[in-house]
């Protein structure tokens, strides 16, 4: 399994509960979500960056030097699919969130970390993953469950570094 460190926005209690409820609905419909994926410690999140090589302490220190941007409001009103069937919620975000992502990437890369190419500024597609691999025959059921939940107003009120292979988290003091 590839090891990666993600710089993630994490949701407030109400938003996380709504997203986990959607995961449960999808699992009940026979669609494997992050709830049952790999180590089972996944949390609803939106990643600013995914790093393939990194020094956790150096990345944490670099991010701590960034200004605290405060909570991020997100409006989810669409379903997206990446190649290989990764299903996700499409957030409506402002230019400020893109600017924040660019600052996070610059700070992380300055530590010598290797950024996954999909998180390069200008290539980053903000998303909240629901299911890592949805089979083509399950797409209709996926859409029924997702659109039965949307629209969803969410708030990311904290941030963390998360090891994708274990789910281990290093909370950040502010929200970059």
CATH number for the domain spanning 64: value is 3.90.1140.10
CA-angle at 115, arms to 110 and 120, nearest 5°:
100
Identify whether 37 is part of a domain.
yes
Q: Which two tokens stand for residue 49?
A: 């960056």
| Contact (Cβ atoms closer than 8 angstroms) between residue 60 and residue 163 | no
Q: Are 126 and 48 in contact (CB under 8 A)?
A: no
In a domain, 173, yes or no: no
Structural domains in the chain (count): 1
Domain assignment of residue 107, given as a range: 5-165
Q: How far apart, in whole angstroms, are the C-alpha atoms of residue 67 and residue 176?
A: 6
174, part of any domain: no
Residue 175 in domain: no
With vertex at residue 81, the alpha carbon angle to CA 141 and CA 48, rounded to the nearest 5 degrees, is 125
pLDDT class for 40, splitting at 50, 70, 90?
confident
On whether residue 170 sits in a domain, the answer given is: no
Name every residue whose Cβ is closer than 8 Å to that of residue 82 and which is 6 or more positions away in sequence. Answer: 88, 125, 127
User: In this structure, are residues 29 and 81 in contact, taking their beta carbons and an 8 Å threshold?
Assistant: no
Residue 176 lies in a domain: no
Residue 44 lies in a domain: yes
Answer whether residue 144 is part of any domain. Answer: yes
Q: Is the peptide bond before 39 cis (omega within 30 degrees of 0)?
A: no
Has residue 1 got a pLDDT over 60? Answer: no
pLDDT digits (tens, 9 = 90+) for 110-159: 999 999 999 999 999 999 999 999 999 999 999 999 999 999 999 999 99
- Looking only at Cα atoms, what is the longest distance across the chain? 47
User: What number of residues does the chain have?
Assistant: 176
Euclidean distance between CA atoms 148 and 98, whole angstroms: 28
Question: What is the DSSP-derived secondary structure letter of residue 37?
Answer: S
Q: What is the pLDDT of residues 45-102, one digit of tens each?
A: 999 999 999 999 999 999 999 999 999 999 999 999 999 999 999 999 999 999 999 9
């Amino acid at each position: 399994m590839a090891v990666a460190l993600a710089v993630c926005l994490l949701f407030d209690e109400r938003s996380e509960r709504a997203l986990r409820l959607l995961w449960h609905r999808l699992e009940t419909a026979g669609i494997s979500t992050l709830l049952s994926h790999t180590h089972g410690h996944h949390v609803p999140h939106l990643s600013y960056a995914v790093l393939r090589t990194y020094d956790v302490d150096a990345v944490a220190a670099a991010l701590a030097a960034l200004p605290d941007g405060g909570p991020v409001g997100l409006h989810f009103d669409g379903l997206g699919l990446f190649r290989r069937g990764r299903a996700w919620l499409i957030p409506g975000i402002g230019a400020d969130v893109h600017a924040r992502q660019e600052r996070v990437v610059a700070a992380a890369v300055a530590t010598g970390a290797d950024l996954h190419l999909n998180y390069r500024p200008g290539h980053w597609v903000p998303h909240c993953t629901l299911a890592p691999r949805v089979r083509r025959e399950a797409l209709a059921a996926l859409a029924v469950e997702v659109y039965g939940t949307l629209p969803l107003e969410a708030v990311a009120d904290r941030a963390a570094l998360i090891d994708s292979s274990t789910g281990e988290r290093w909370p950040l003091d502010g929200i970059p």
